Amino acid sequence: MKIPIFVIVAFSIAITLSGNLAVDGSGPITWKDCSNNVSVMKIKNITFDPPGDVYPGQGFSLKATFKLKKEITEGKVNVDVQYGVLHYATGVYDLCDKFKEAGLTCPVSKGLKNGVFQGRVPFPNGYFKFTINATTSAGDKISCFTFELNDNI
């Protein structure tokens, strides 16, 4: 099952933020870091448009500025989605495909990068939690984070 909202998180692969972060400071979207100090990516800035609440069927974009500690040539992204207390979906995605969707091409060299991710809110209002784990084929950690949307309108 393809998860369209995953596009916004796939390139935010290595969120190294302490605690919670509301993307625009007022909306229902939060991120939590579950990576460790050996993770390859660190997010520097996230801009969410539109700011604030999002609604089913609405389009959105997320611009992420992140720093890579080393070049990324390949990898996979494991995504687990929870809706309320129920397990909703699981998927495995090619990391380079997700980079391409955000305007980047593998290999992605180390240094400061920008990616713009597009999506559409495809689900009913409620609580969704995405757990994202990105690794190389050798099992080295690129990133781990959770992305939560709590839009009980």
What is residue 80's predicted lDDT score, i.e. its pLDDT? 94
Going 135 to 39 to 118 to 103, the CA torsion angle's sign is: negative
pTM above 0.85, yes or no: no
Amino acid at 85: V
What is residue 94's predicted lDDT score, i.e. its pLDDT? 96
What is residue 12's predicted lDDT score, i.e. its pLDDT? 38
CB–CB of 127/150 below 8 Å? Answer: yes
Torsion of CA 65, 67, 72, 75, to 10 degrees: -60
Q: Where are the beta strands (DSSP E) in the chain?
A: 20-22, 29-33, 41-49, 59-68, 76-83, 86-94, 111-120, 127-135, 141-150
What is residue 44's predicted lDDT score, i.e. its pLDDT? 77
* Spatial separation of the C-alpha atoms in residues 9 and 74, rounded to whole Å: 17
Q: Please give the domain boundaries of the chain with CATH numbers for all domains.
A: 6-150 (2.70.220.10)
What is residue 46's predicted lDDT score, i.e. its pLDDT? 72
pLDDT in tens, 45-101: 777 787 766 677 788 887 888 889 999 999 999 999 998 889 888 999 999 998 898
What is residue 122's predicted lDDT score, i.e. its pLDDT? 62
125 pLDDT more than 50: yes
136: helix, strand or coil: coil
What is residue 24's predicted lDDT score, i.e. its pLDDT? 38
Start-end of H helices in the chain: 6-10, 95-101
What mean pLDDT is predicted for residues 109-124?
83
6: helix, strand or coil: helix
Determine what percent of the chain is predicted with pLDDT higher than 70. 76
